[in-house]
Structure 1
């Protein structure tokens, strides 16, 4: 499952690079007070393009059982790179319209963070048919985020992003 994703050389290199550039946070401690993002349904009329802020109890329904590819943004309110990434992800998902975005505050969903081995933030994972298919850690330029989402939508995503 995720262990195979996180052990890939590309993801490990991405973590090292992101840490060196200061574009990620460690996923430990921090305030449990979460900044909330409003759910959005402003996609372009296709099956995706929706943004949801969910609790751990909704993960199976909104991610694992979804018939739409889903991007999961594991974040924390105290994480500055997470705050910078959030509007870029939202914009790219709404623009693409073929995938949904689910935001999960790890301070409120510790079991999920543990299950998916989230150790750095932001961590973004793509799910298709209930399985993780690709991931990246840390801040990315808008063009790279759009490409990641397009790859997920077109089923060409790889775990070495």
Structure 2
């Protein structure tokens, strides 16, 4: 896991994903991405900016190529995909690149 204080978005794998979901009571914003995905690269700084704006939301990234079982579990069919979880339950999902305003609306629902 990334311990860099500048980066509020933590890259996780299958093992650390389950642990984070269990330990986080509030909202979790999850970005499924892949290194080869251009829209994912466009969305990354947007997600990072939103992570800095909302201290009450845990923000994590999952590389869909490295964790295909997680992508399958959540029905991820396109990248990037954003998922919003609260208290361990999936409450919303969104596919594709988005603006800061769109991601802010997504996490506020």
For residues 92 and 39 of structure 1, what CA distance do their matches in structure 2 show?
Answer: 18
2:93 aligned partner: 135
2:46 aligned partner: 88
Deviations 1:70-123 (A, max 9, x none): 100000000000000011011112112110111000110011111111110000
With the length of structure 2 as denominator, give the TM-score of the two structures: 0.89
- Classify the secondary structure of the residue corresponding to 1:121: coil
1:110 aligned partner: 68
TM-aligned CA deviation for residue 40 of structure 1: 4.7
- Classify the secondary structure of the residue corresponding to 2:61: strand
- Correspondences of 1:25-104 after superposition (within 5 Å): 38-41=2-5, 50-104=8-62
For residues 27 and 89 of structure 2, what CA distance do their matches in structure 1 show?
Answer: 10
2:49 and 2:100 in contact (8 A); partners too:
no
Deviations 1:5-42 (A, max 9, x none): xxxxxxxxxxxxxxxxxxxxxxxxxxxxxxxxx55545
Q: Please, which runs of 5 or more residues in structure 2 have no aligned partner?
A: none
For residues 62 and 94 of structure 1, what CA distance do their matches in structure 2 show?
Answer: 19
For residues 57 and 41 of structure 1, what CA distance do their matches in structure 2 show?
Answer: 22
For residues 48 and 41 of structure 2, what CA distance do their matches in structure 1 show?
Answer: 12
- Classify the secondary structure of the residue corresponding to 1:88: helix
Q: Please, which runs of 5 or more residues in structure 1 have no aligned partner?
A: 1-37, 44-49, 152-156
Aligned residues: 109
For residues 4 and 89 of structure 2, what CA distance do their matches in structure 1 show?
Answer: 24
With the length of structure 1 as denominator, give the TM-score of the two structures: 0.62
For residues 21 and 41 of structure 2, what CA distance do their matches in structure 1 show?
Answer: 22
For residues 22 and 63 of structure 2, what CA distance do their matches in structure 1 show?
Answer: 17
